[in-house]
Chains A and B, each alone.
Chain A
């Protein structure tokens, strides 16, 4: 039996096919890594205007007449945008200033233009808005972003105070409930301002600011669920879990200052290994599984094999085990190629950084060594890989047709996510016993909820095994009974 497997491996490794496909994977890896490196390394800025865009705005503006009632709204919008771009142009070297302009000054610009050109003109109002705006600009020129953070903090504090006062004056439970929600949201804003000051995070668009924003929105989601204080159904629980994960992961980013979602590093590329390379790995494995039996039929060499002192079951089993061994080979060599290419492009240092995930069942942030993480991911993807390889293997054995085997298996792989999405969207509960809903075990990782209510890890594994046997048993029976006709 081991000799049969050894022969099968010899046959595969003496063929050019496997080297060509591995070379293609290698080129793909180089391509994807370069994309990651050079698309992210161009510094991302909050300034978003191009000269030609501003020119086109000015052109359009010159064609409009603010006196004409039909033009006036568009005129105000265009004028505001041009004013905003002029201001941003001036401060475009500082991300935090741009953010402040975008968030706090742009409403004033619109206000000024509305009062100057709009239907109810008011010089008084326009002057007031201009004053406010100039105050903020003056602060910008002082180069102190902390002023704004402190202002945020004060605003949040006074909002909380005011809301508490309101709460004390009313007895209406509905109103109190609404106020409580607002108070909690204000507390989050306060928390964010405090984080900004404490962790020294200027305004901007970098990963820390993104984390702050995500922290805020996810916290708000959680607050509304917590205050409702009712039994959550499955979908709500899923949303709640997502918000909780986002909040805790964002908190980790803010507190430690590390970008755990960074993809342009060796660690990052390994962290998202299967979402980037899973499809290539599966294509190669399906190709080998779909040819290993049918090629012997089409070339007539099956006769050589079948007149050797081994039973047909042994011969087919050895081929199936060979497919599994080759699958492991393809996965491991793709990982090694990624480490090599990623290491050369991004440096090998990040390999020691842990992957950070929030574990819902332990209610804690978990730091996992990248190789352990990759191992866990591989285990969760094994059912997909094995089941698709078995599908290709079974079809190629039963119909002696490689093209059919490879096509059907690839369609199955590509169709699976569509099938799953439809099943989830239309709540087709019977689909929870279907293979594609169960074969991706990563849905259960770190206490996550499955695609559908009522699914669990053990039944998913059982369903995958049942599907495996449904494919394998007829394959072995048919192969055993098969007549070798003229080839």
Chain B
């Protein structure tokens, strides 16, 4: 698979403050890279460097083989983007906004505009002034203008802001579709981890201007050795009392009563038969034992150690 976007050890300083330290990342065609970090970590700055909106202190951005600083027009040609907010000309209609964008590229006819409008489901309101749009509709219009010229790299900064759950689901489907069918490379930044779960193919975690993790999404979740098992029992409180002895001798790392029938136990896999045995010996009925899948969010907080802006 071809690499579309490549950032090589990007650094950015404003005055004495270093905003980015050696940020490197790569997006290949068909990839959806989730760019995750707490507020102020440098997500938007990185995106601005990639798009040539800010000068690069050191490092390189290569898009489709062109250096963004040396050959801006060629590098940006096949890039679509929303930065920060979907800022549109409020006094124009959605359609007029798209027309303005279409004018700046070759060969975008009215059919393509109509097609994109349908894709983002704005057909009914496209001739209304953007000032009458909700934030969610503006997000969709933002995506429409970003994909109008069929870019092979799509960069979206917090695109789910203002979308309702259904809108988020639709956008997720749209982006997956673009990545799979059009082989688009997508970089999507967010602090809303739950939305990126199950939909990004890769994740890049940034904190305090440094990339602290880049990997396949499945890897992140299964990396840590301790797992959480959920026991369905007839008496969770009693079971907790029995097992609390093991908490003290470190066989069990965590215990939590979810409700009268559910008990969450944090243990390594090897200890599961021991726990079952012990509970059976104490006449506790076990209906089910299942592994709890770790969410991206858990992985995220494990990596970043909480949301601290410095």
A residues sitting closer than 8 Å to B (CB atoms) are 3-4, 6-7, 10-11, 14-16, 299-301, 303-304, 306-311, 481, 483-487
Contacts and interface: CB of A to CB of B under 8 A. Distances in A.
Contact of B91 (A15, A304, A309, A310): A15
B100 interface: yes
Contacts of B96: 10, 14
Nearest to B75: A309
A304 B97 CA distance: 11
Interface of B: 44, 48, 51-55, 72-74, 76-77, 79, 81, 83-85, 87-92, 96, 100-101, 103-105, 145
A308 B105 CA distance: 8
Contact of B52 (A16, A299, A301, A306): A306
A300 B83 CA distance: 10
Given A303-B53, A307-B51, A309-B76, A486 B103 contact: no
Contact of B87 (A6, A16, A481, A487): A487
Contact of A7 (B54, B73, B74, B104): B104
Given A6-B103, A303-B83, 16 more contacts: A4-B104, A11-B89, A14-B92, A299-B90, A300-B85, A301-B88, A303-B84, A303-B87, A308-B101, A309-B105, A310-B73, A311-B72, A483-B53, A484-B48, A485-B54, A487-B84
B76 A7 contact: no
Q: Is the interface of B mostly helix, strand, loop or mixed?
A: loop
A387 B36 CA distance: 49
Contacts of B55: 481, 483
B53 A307 contact: yes
B87 A484 contact: no
A308 B76 contact: yes
Contact of A301 (B48, B76, B87, B105): B87
A309 B87 contact: no
Contact of B76 (A10, A11, A307, A483): A307
A10 B72 CA distance: 26
A125 to B, nearest CB: 85
Contacts, number: 72
Nearest to B99: A10
A472 B231 CA distance: 74
Contacts of B44: 486
B52 A307 contact: yes
- The 3 tightest CB contacts between A and B, nearest first, are A300-B87, A484-B53, A483-B54
A303 B79 CA distance: 13
A457 to B, nearest CB: 41
A20 B252 CA distance: 76
A300 B142 CA distance: 13
Contacts of A10: 96, 100
B77 A309 contact: yes
A14 B91 contact: yes
Contacts of A304: 87-88, 101, 145
Contacts of A306: 51-53
Contacts of B77: 309
B84, B87, B96, B101 interface centre (most CB from chain A within 10 Å): B87
A433 to B, nearest CB: 37
Contact of A299 (B79, B87, B105): B87
Which residue of A11, A301, A303 has the most chain B CB atoms within 10 A of its CB atom?
A: A303
Contacts of B81: 307
Given A481-B55, A483-B53, A484-B54, A309 B104 contact: yes
25 contacts: A7-B104, A10-B100, A11-B92, A14-B92, A16-B91, A299-B87, A303-B83, A304-B87, A304-B88, A306-B51, A307-B51, A307-B76, A307-B79, A307-B81, A308-B101, A309-B73, A309-B76, A483-B48, A483-B53, A483-B55, A484-B53, A484-B54, A485-B54, A486-B84, A487-B84
Nearest to B90: A299
Contacts of B104: 3-4, 7, 308-310
A298 to B, nearest CB: 10
Nearest to B145: A304
A487 B53 CA distance: 12
A15 B92 CA distance: 8
B1 to A, nearest CB: 25
B47 to A, nearest CB: 10
A299 B87 CA distance: 7
Nearest to B77: A309
Contacts of A300: 84-85, 87
A299 B104 CA distance: 20
A47 B307 CA distance: 91
Contacts of A14: 89, 91-92, 96
B220 to A, nearest CB: 29
A300 B52 CA distance: 16
Looking at B79, B100, B101, the one whose CB has the most chain A CB atoms below 10 A away is B100
A11 B79 CA distance: 23
A338 B73 CA distance: 46
B246 to A, nearest CB: 52
A18 to B, nearest CB: 12
A300 B101 CA distance: 15
A487 B48 CA distance: 12
Contacts of A3: 103-104
Contacts of A486: 44, 84
A478 B165 CA distance: 43
B11 to A, nearest CB: 14
Contacts of A487: 84, 87
B175 to A, nearest CB: 19
A50 B53 CA distance: 75
A351 B89 CA distance: 44
A484 B88 CA distance: 17
B279 to A, nearest CB: 56
Nearest to A15: B91
Residue of B48, B77, B81, B88 ringed by the most chain A CB atoms within 10 A: B48
A2 to B, nearest CB: 10
Contacts of B53: 303, 306-307, 483-484
Nearest to A300: B87
Nearest to B44: A486
A486 B54 CA distance: 11
Contacts of B74: 309
A321 B79 CA distance: 27
Contacts of B52: 306-307
A304 B83 CA distance: 8
A484 B105 CA distance: 23
Contacts of A310: 73, 104
A299 B89 CA distance: 8
A486 B42 CA distance: 12
A7 B101 CA distance: 9
A6 B102 CA distance: 12
A10 B102 CA distance: 13
Contacts of A303: 53, 83-84, 87
